[in-house]
A and B are shown apart, each in its own frame.
Chain A
């Protein structure tokens, strides 16, 4: 059992999605509980990846592949967790996407990866996402953060449209909205009623952590 978990952790650290999927399956076959595998292999693996990035040893492609490996293993574990009505411990749940009319992907994907690396559950909706889709996903996942990306001056208005749709659906109070993208800035965030702006992926992690400070403290059982 320890051997499989060690290998699974290594697959995450080395960013090997195929191996991670295979080892996750083996873990289930060996009757390892999914939550045990997540807590003892996947999470510490991602922790190592994050540390290596901080030290300058790992780079963006290494993070992306580690996240892919994590995703591959989670795809194996999720159905079992659902069946057992169990949930993995996360810092929070994020719904993220590039707004309608805009097909720019890289920046948004970086933010999604960085957030999942540090321990958030991230639902990446992709690009050209209509406001209604954001609303539906927030409702379904019970997300507490919404990330909106826009790279064009013509599409940044649609960030505002998503916020309006969240209000209309009565979900605005349950989520923090963070925006980003080349033409946006903190002033724009204020104008459209977003909670925060982040210039890049690293900053996005800090901002989301800060926005959810009270929530995270509660999760970790630290005094408030």
Chain B
């Protein structure tokens, strides 16, 4: 028997009031939808649509039916076709935060724009950190044109990682090319729908607006049965109500409208109740991802998602610090722990600094240790034996050395999360003998070790050529003559 700790902010009655108010908001004032395709679909199914103002008033029953048809669970698959991520129940997984426009350069001690080489190093590292269940397209490479930035990062991640991928498109047209990249690795459109290796984030704009890009991306995902993750992001007091519960209501309405549009396209297609809301810093005007209230809104909306019977996601385990310091550690630690306790299926955030804008490989390594501890925490305290300890304590007796009891060796590996040497548990003199390094320096060395130990993913030459051809076509349309150099693709295609 396992007694798993669980976090709950809202009573059932409160959740029901949140959901009731959200349904009311879908009907009045309705949702802004900047997509004719979506507006027509909504109108066909009974929504009251003002095509001029691009506003749809969605009847509660239409939204309720969509929640009914949405699946309560599904899997993401790794390169070997194994279902390694389970979106459903209270299962907890972690992937790196996304998407950063800066990388914190450990050597130079400053942030700068990431390029292809940085991205490849990032994927090798994320692939090698066992605590991470999926890899995200976490960096936006500055050495390719903006128009292909979204698909270029998916191209790179598919070349290098064996894990499932969390990604997203930045334009209507690029979604199709990204889907083609996924088809290239999956083998066919059917295989892609059957065993999806990736999920797309789609982000409505607060309050209550679906831009053309996100709405089209959402519908494309549904049509091809590629999983989609709804990322509603009210800023409490700025683009959403200042009360935490008020922002949860708005989040619920935005996500419900997303589920409705999505399920109207393809009932039963996989969709996730996610988000990236934040408190608002009333002094600086920033959206602090490390604020405790941000984390509280996250956990509360996840409770609403679970009430509705949907898989959940959140951006947690991030920090607003600009360097890998104590603030970075405590904000990331609190977020990861709360998300795990809330039973959120996919927690995105490790590695991310500075309001989701700057990525640090060293932070990713440290966060992997936090993730290890968070997973251990929710594994709970387990009744391993009956009687609980009577026999072993009697056996050891008053002499009292459990280190030589077989019982100790039988259980310690299962009972303890054993961290990497990034977590310092040495005696002071041992720590001094190893150079008196702080955690950031230790993390840097471990990152370099893991990157150096990376072994190339097995991909057929045909798949690599296909991935390259799709990406090169897009790059040439955007004015590039060739793709930036990186070693793996070169060696594989020769």
Contact = CB atoms under 8 A, between A and B. Distances in A.
A200 B401 contact: no
Interface stretch (A2-10, A23-31, A62-70): A62-70
Nearest to B399: A105
A202 to B, nearest CB: 7
Contact of B403 (A106, A199, A202): A106
Contacts of B399: 105
Interface stretch (B84-92, B235-243, B280-288, B405-413): B405-413
A112 B335 CA distance: 43
B403 A109 contact: yes
B442 to A, nearest CB: 14
Interface string A93-136: 00000000000011001100000000000000000000000000
Between B400, B401, B403, B421, the greatest number of chain A beta carbons within 10 A of the residue's beta carbon is seen for B403
Given A61-B409, A61-B412, A65-B409, A199 B427 contact: yes
Contact of B401 (A59, A62, A109): A109
B491 interface: no
B404 A68 contact: yes
Contact of A65 (B404, B418, B421, B428): B404
Contact of B430 (A61, A109, A110, A199): A199
A60 to B, nearest CB: 6
Contacts of A110: 403
B431 to A, nearest CB: 11
Given A199-B428, A200-B427, A202-B430, A62 B403 contact: no
Interface in A178-224: 199-200, 202-203
B487 interface: no
Interface in B411-443: 412-413, 418, 421, 427-430
Contact of B404 (A59, A64, A199): A64
A164 B429 CA distance: 29
Contacts of B412: 59, 61
Contacts of A68: 404
B403 A60 contact: yes
A15 interface: yes
Interface in A56-81: 56, 59-62, 64-65, 68
A15 B408 CA distance: 12
A15 B403 CA distance: 12
Nearest to B405: A61
Nearest to A16: B406
B429 A65 contact: no
A59 B408 CA distance: 11
A92 to B, nearest CB: 23
A18 B414 CA distance: 24
Contacts of A199: 427-430
A64 to B, nearest CB: 5
Contact of A106 (B401, B409, B413): B401
7 smallest beta-carbon distances between A and B, as pairs: A61-B409, A61-B408, A199-B429, A64-B403, A64-B404, A200-B427, A199-B427
